[in-house]
């Protein structure tokens, strides 16, 4: 049985329909390929593995402050103390540089320096310390020993004061983790002393530019 021969005009319509279908498929694949890619983090992604940001402490202006006061900001939380001879100032300097590198996105970032030495770190001492790094984007927090211990345990931060020296001074051994929370107070990233300023800046910018 012979198949009917379609007129030339019908063949043209069939050809155009087939080409249109193929182009539609190609366009769909192209849109998928060119869509927004998942974020690539340079720091450790801890989303879903750490509790939300929560605290009730005293800021470096002597005012009660809670996690609610940071809602809408990227919070970069670091535990240290003002008498720390080396690690703390180096870490704070790195965080200050990272925030400076992200330009206008820095308006959405707050570095939160939490004392693990509340007996010496009064609000006045914390204020002088954080202002020496970045008064605009940094907050110092202190509180009672119990309040500090509660928050440290929440994020598995270890610290221990050494025995006082002959002059009465002492050092405090402590964890060096940097905890980064998104605008809703969700834990998103974890950094440490080996992460570079560029890595910190990359991820802070990326997080700040998320909706």
Distances (CA, A) of 100 to 3, 66, 106, 125, 211: 75, 25, 7, 24, 21
The CATH label, of 3.40.30.10, 3.10.129.10, 3.40.50.300, 3.90.1580.10, for the domain at 44-208 is 3.40.30.10
Q: What is the pLDDT of residue 167?
A: 79
Q: How far apart are CA 62 and CA 161, in angstroms?
A: 24
Q: What is the pLDDT of residue 178?
A: 98
Q: What is the pLDDT of residue 28?
A: 44
Q: What is the pLDDT of residue 211?
A: 57
Q: What is the pLDDT of residue 38?
A: 54
Number of other CB atoms surrounding residue 43 within 10 Å: 19
Sequence spans of domains, the chain: 1-35, 44-208
Q: List, for the chain, all residue ranges whose pLDDT scores fall below the cut of 70.
A: 1-38, 211
Asked if 138 contacts 106 with a C-beta cutoff of 8 angstroms, the reply is no
Q: Write the secondary structure of 39-91 as one string of H (helix), E (strand) and C (coil).
A: CCCCCEECCCCCCCCCCEEEECCCCEEEHHHHCCCEEEEEEECCCCCCHHHHH
**Backbone torsion region of residue 156, taken as left when φ is above 0, otherwise alpha when ψ lies between -120 and 50, otherwise beta:** left
């Amino acid at each position: 049985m012979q198949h009917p021969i379609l007129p030339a005009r019908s063949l043209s319509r069939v050809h155009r329909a087939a080409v249109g279908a193929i182009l539609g498929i190609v366009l769909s694949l192209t849109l998928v390929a060119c869509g927004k890619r998942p974020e690539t983090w340079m720091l450790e992604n801890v989303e879903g593995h750490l509790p939300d940001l929560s605290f009730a402490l005293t800021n470096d202006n002597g005012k009660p402050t809670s996690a609610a006061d940071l809602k809408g900001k990227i919070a970069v939380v670091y535990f240290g103390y003002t008498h720390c001879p080396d690690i703390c100032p180096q870490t704070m300097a790195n965080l200050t540089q990272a925030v400076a590198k992200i330009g206008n996105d820095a308006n959405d970032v707050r570095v939160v320096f939490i004392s693990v030495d509340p007996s010496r770190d009064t609000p006045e001492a914390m204020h002088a310390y954080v202002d020496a790094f970045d008064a605009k984007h940094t907050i110092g927090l202190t509180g009672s020993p119990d309040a500090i211990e509660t928050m440290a345990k929440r994020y598995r931060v270890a610290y221990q004061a050494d025995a006082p020296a002959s002059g009465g001074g002492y050092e405090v051994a402590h964890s060096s983790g940097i905890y980064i929370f998104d605008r809703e107070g969700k834990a998103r990233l974890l950094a440490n002393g080996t992460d570079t300023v560029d890595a910190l800046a990359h991820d802070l910018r990326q997080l700040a530019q998320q909706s």
